[in-house]
Amino acid sequence: MLKHLPNALTCGNLLCGSLGIVLVLNGLPLELAALFIYGAALFDFLDGAAARWLRVASPIGKELDSLADVISFGLLPGTIMYRLMLASQAPGNWALTSQLPGLPPHFALYPAAWLALLVPVFSALRLAKFNVDTRQSESFIGVPTPANALFISGLIFLFAYPPLNTWLQNYWVLATLTVVTSGWLVAELPLLALKFKRMDWAKYKFQYILLALAVILLGIFKFAAFPLIILLYIGLSVLAWRTK
């Protein structure tokens, strides 16, 4: 039974992502949906740890992990961004109504908010690229999908901080964030991997600095710290790459 534990944990990741999407599409608070991203990230960490501990890594586990990630860290943050765009003060929120048979009489589509669907599309590309890219065994090329999902989910909690709340109600700000977060998923950007083979400050000093600063920021800003932590992650990764 133990050999199936990693895949069971991966299914927990997928279940969290699916439940989060249900919450978003039913109009429930986005903060609740964000919590399911954090639950999925926990399962994503545990399934890899369990596979290494039990030494039961398998091709099907790798494929299942990617399928779960595209839902939890691609489609779920994409639907969150879609909801934010629908609620934004947008010149692009004009409605495209449809009178097709079988649809409600006042059925409306909002094409401007469809831009948010770039997030799941580029997340799928990122995961497919990772599966075939042999350069990413020790580090990452492009922002990992869990990190991108944490960045987007953290935007929800920034509404508690003026003037950020005003900026995040602007369609063009959200559109820019969507394009940027989609683009850096597949960018040729070398990033640190938080994989420690031994306690070695010289080799992993940037990872240790990142973890220490992340703990401090989370203690101060709670979930709203995630966007800043991801930007810090990218910045330290670039710095580490340049020092090499």
Task: Report how far residue 167's alpha carbon sits from residue 89's, in angstroms, rounded to the nearest whole number.
Answer: 10
pLDDT given for residue 174 in this prediction: 95
- What mean pLDDT is predicted for residues 70-85? 96
pLDDT given for residue 36 in this prediction: 98
Query: How do residues 128-168 score in pLDDT, each as one tens digit?
Result: 999 888 887 778 999 999 999 999 999 999 999 999 999 99
pLDDT given for residue 153 in this prediction: 97
Greater model confidence, 78 or 63: 78
Share of the chain above pLDDT 70, in %: 90
> Does 103 score more than 70 pLDDT?
no
Task: Report how far residue 167's alpha carbon sits from residue 88's, in angstroms, rounded to the nearest whole number.
Answer: 10
- The whole-model pTM stands at 0.91
pLDDT given for residue 203 in this prediction: 77
Q: What is the mean pLDDT of the chain?
A: 89
CB 84 within 8 A of CB 174: yes
Query: How do residues 42-69 score in pLDDT, each as one tens digit?
Result: 999 999 888 888 888 778 888 899 999 9
User: For the purposes of burial, counting CB atoms within 10 Å of the CB of 218, is it exposed (0-12), middle (13-18) or buried (19 or more)?
Assistant: middle
Domains, the chain: 2-243 (1.20.120.1760)
Query: How do residues 87-102 score in pLDDT, each as one tens digit?
Result: 886 555 556 665 556 6
> Does 195 score more than 80 pLDDT?
no
Query: How do residues 144-154 score in pLDDT, each as one tens digit?
Result: 999 999 999 99
122 confidence band (pLDDT: 50, 70, 90)? very high
Greater model confidence, 126 or 1: 126
